[in-house]
Amino acid sequence: MTVPLGINEIHLGDARELLPQIEPDSVACSVWSPPYHLGKDYEKDISYDEWINLLGEVIRLHFSILKPGGFLVVNIADILCFPDESMPRIQAMNLSRHKSNVTREQVLEAKAAHPDYNRYQLASLLGCSEQTIDRRLNGNNIRGGKYNTQTRVHLVGSIIEDAATAAQLYMYDRRIWIKDPAWENSKWATLSYRAVDEFEYLYFFWKPGITVVDRTKLTSEEWASWGSRAVWEIPSVRANDDHEAKFPVELPRRVIRLLTFPGDTVLDCFMGSGTTAVAAIREGRNYIGIERQPKYVSLAREACRKENEKIEFLKDHATLNVKKAGDSSQLALLD
Ligand SMILES: C[S@@+](CC[C@H](N)C(=O)[O-])C[C@H]1O[C@@H](n2cnc3c(N)ncnc32)[C@H](O)[C@@H]1O
């Protein structure tokens, strides 16, 4: 290996190419959230098989860079609308909405009166579902009608677990992250028995070796409220304006506080906007970031710069306050 990948830097490149450049046995914890295969902008060019291979390869490359006794933590969700050509058409008869009296003419009339209305607004105006609006206007079924491929739920846990086990990284724990209730920002009034999308997983994998378990690293309140808890309730990021899939900083922060010590190195090889690096800086850990898109590399670097600046400012203030306290105690002595 040439010069190993620098720490406290965000590196531009593909995780599969850069991971082998990280110093062996150097990473105390790697925590990341990969593309979910949901058709986001940054993953639209990658097929299902390529996605599986990407996850497998990235996980495989972790074995040599993790410290013995260290952890890999993957945050991911199941695929709730996995297209399956071979799946029979779902035959749902929705009794409450079965017979909508709304006619095509009424929809056209409402549309003419409110040309700027979208189908949700038209539905609310006419007291029917947006599916009825779409059917009346286009004669199709936007939720996967006769001519559309059917979709089913596809669990991803076993894909991740199998890849990790093959890499000799063993499932150590799993936790659930409850995001905000999806109906808060969802336009859909569901016409099925399916639950709304409101949680994701955290899968913890362990590299064999000695793991120091130090119960003093969290306060007893922290152990009780999240350290020992399988379910973490953390609101998701509301303003995904600069990156479409940020996780909240509290998520990697908890992982980092639980599994590492100050001065340890934390890795995120799907760095996105820099959230894990910010959490690492906040907790006094080193970080290594890898991200494939230049615009996100800039975003992450800027987030790190700001976080470092904040820490410096707080340190300066703390010193100033100590100094002030010292000065006033001297004054008190003089009095
Ligand atoms: C789910 S997002 C991670 C978001 C991040 N946790 C945050 O809070 O901003 C996945 C990121 O992985 C990046 N990515 C996708 N494929 C990659 C690859 N092969 N190597 C490195 N980064 C990749 C995407 O550009 C995207 O920014």
Q: Determine the residue of 37, 42, 75, 268 to mutate for testing ligand 1's pocket, defined as the one with the most ligand atoms within 8 A of the Cβ atom.
A: 42
Atom of ligand 1 nearest to the CA of 293: 25
Burial 290-313 (b: 16+ CB within 10 A, else e): bbbeeebbebbbebbeebeeeeee
Number of neighbouring beta carbons within 10 Å of residue 198: 15
Kindly provide the b/e burial profile for residues 68-87, where b requires at least 16 CB atoms within 10 angstroms of the residue's own CB: eebbbbbbbbebeebeeeee
Helices (H), 95-237: 104-113, 119-126, 130-138, 157-166, 220-222
Per-residue pLDDT of the chain (335 residues; tens, 9 = 90+): 578 999 999 999 999 999 999 999 999 999 999 999 987 777 778 899 999 999 999 999 999 999 999 999 999 999 998 999 999 887 777 666 566 788 899 999 999 999 999 888 898 899 888 888 888 888 755 444 445 678 899 999 999 999 999 999 999 999 999 997 655 555 555 567 888 889 999 999 999 999 999 999 999 999 999 999 999 999 998 776 788 889 999 999 999 999 999 999 999 999 999 999 999 999 999 999 999 999 999 999 999 999 999 999 988 888 777 777 666 544 443 33
Instruction: Determine if the pTM surpasses 0.85.
Output: no
With CA atoms as reference, report the closest residue to 200 among 152, 159, 235, 228.
235
Q: Which of 270, 275, 293, 304 to mutate to test the pocket of ligand 1 (most atoms within 8 A of CB)?
A: 270
What structural domains does the chain harbor? 9-84+150-303 (3.40.50.150), 93-148 (no CATH)
Atom nearest to 237 CA in ligand 1: 8
